[in-house]
Amino acid sequence: MKESAMTGKPRILKENNRRLVLDLLRKSDAISVSEISAKVDLSKTTVMKIIDYLVRTGVALPAGKGHSTEVGGKKPTMFRFNERAGYVIAVHIFTDEIYSVIMDLHTTILFDCSSPLKEDESLAVVLAAIVSSCQKLMRKAGIDAHSLLGIGIGTHGITNNKDGILYVSPHFPSWGTNIRFRDLLEEQLPFAVPITLENNCRMQAIAEKIRGVATDKRNIVAVEAGTGLGSGIIVQDEIKWGVHYLSGEIGHMVINPKTEERCACGGRGCFEVMVSTKRLLRLAEESYQEHPDSVIFQGGQKNMTAEGIFDAANAGDTLARALMDDIISWFAIGFSNVIVMYDPEIIIIQGIYTRAGDYFLENLREKVNEVSLVRIKKDVQIEYSRFGKERGVIGSAAHIISEYFQEGAFCTDKGSWKR
C-alpha cells in the first residue's frame, strides 16, 4: 500500500531535517543549537528536538558549555558527533599482504593488523586471514558485531560492488573468474554484518577526496602505479563504476601497439606494462653492459630497486635519467588520454612512484602538455599522494559510513540507528 502524500511528506521532511543536522554535526567540532539553527535554516525548537533524538540514540553527545554572547546571557550547551557510536572494519588485499584496520566514524584508525601473503595465494587462505583479522581487531577494540556498521574489502581486479563479485583478479589467477567473494566471506564469518566489496583504486580515490590532496576538488583521477596500474575516477563528486565495472581500468589502455611487451591482461602495449616497475628494472639490467659505472649498480646488478633508480635520477645519474625519461614519456601519453577522457582537476599519483621525487614529477607535468591538444593549456594538477598503505582502508571505511548515513535509516523512528 502506498503511503499517502499527507503522511509521507511530514515523515520525509523530518528525516531530511535530521539528516541536515547530523551532517553538520559530523563536519563540526562542538556546536550549539543556535549555531546549528542558523546554518541549516531550521528553528531552534526543531533543532533541539533533533538533537534530543540524536543524543538518545547515541549519535550525538553533550560537549560542555560554550561562550556567552557579547550581550551576556547563559552559556549555551554544546553538542558534538559521537564518533564512537559505531565502528567499521576495512581490509585491503595487497599482492603480498592483507592489511586490516578498525576505525571509528571519523575514519580514525584505532587498531590495525597485517597478514603476509605468498605470490598467488589461495582464495581459501585469503578468506581465512580476513576472518581472523576481523576477530582480532574486534577483540582489540573491545566490541561485538552489534557495534559494526560494516566490513569493507578492497581488492585488485574488476569488481562488481553491487553483487559482491570479483570478476577477475590479475594478481591471483588461481582464484579463477566470477568469484562470489562477498558470499564466501559471509559464510565464513561467525557473525552477520554488511560486507562491501570494492576495487581498491576506487576506495583510494575516495580517501584523497575526504582526507588527501583533493579535498577541495570535485573531479579527481587517483592513479596507483607500480607492478600494475589502476585508477579511481570521481566526476562531480561521484565515484564512477561503469556499466561493466570497468571505469578506472586505465592501465589496460593500449598506448604502444607496436611493442611486444605483454600485460597481465594478455594484451600488448598496455599503459600498465609500459610504466611498470618490473619493466623499469628490466631495462636497467639490460643497460648494464653499456653503463657498468652507473650508481644504480653500486649494490650489484641483481640488487637494483626502483627506489634506487629514482634516487639516482634525482642525483643526476645519466642512465637513471634516461630510464626515467622513457617511463615519463609513457606516463605522459597515458595521462594525456585520461585528461581527454575525464577532464579532471587533478591527477593523483599513488603507490611506489610517489617516491620518484622531483625529477619524475616535474618532467611529467611538462611532458603531459606536449602530447595532445598542444594549443590548449591543460590546467590539470598532477600531484603525489601523501598517503601510505592506509589510503585504501580509509576510503573503504569512509564509503561505508557515507552510504550508511545517506540511507537515512538512523533518521527514522523505527528503533536503533544501527543496522
Structural domains of the chain ordered from first start? 5-81 (1.10.10.10), 87-200+392-411 (3.30.420.40), 213-386 (3.30.420.40)
pLDDT of residue 7: 45
> Which one, of 77, 106, 73, 107, lies nearest residue 90 by Cα?
107
pLDDT of residue 375: 56
| pTM, entire model | 0.86
Of residues 135 and 170, the one with the higher pLDDT is 135
Please check the confidence at residue 167 and state whether its pLDDT lies above 90.
Answer: yes
DSSP code string of 251-273: GGSBS-TT--PBPTTS-BSBHHH
> Which one, of 364, 130, 160, 135, lies nearest residue 247 by Cα?
160
pLDDT of residue 70: 54
For 336-380, the pLDDT digits (tens) are 999 999 999 999 999 999 999 999 999 999 999 888 666 566 689
Cell of 198: 570494492
Distance between CA atoms of residues 315 and 320, nearest Å: 9
DSSP code string of 274-320: HH-HHHHHHHHHHTTTT-TT-GGGTT-GGG--HHHHHHHHHTT-HHH
For 225-268, the pLDDT digits (tens) are 998 899 999 999 999 999 999 999 999 999 999 998 888 778 89
> In terms of DSSP bridges, do strands 195-199 and 220-225 run parallel, antiparallel, or are they unpaired?
unpaired
pLDDT of residue 71: 56
pLDDT of residue 120: 94
Cell of 283: 631495462
DSSP state, 373?
Answer: -
Please check the confidence at residue 68 and state whether its pLDDT lies above 70.
Answer: no
Of 72-76, 87-91, 386-390, which gets the smallest average pLDDT?
72-76
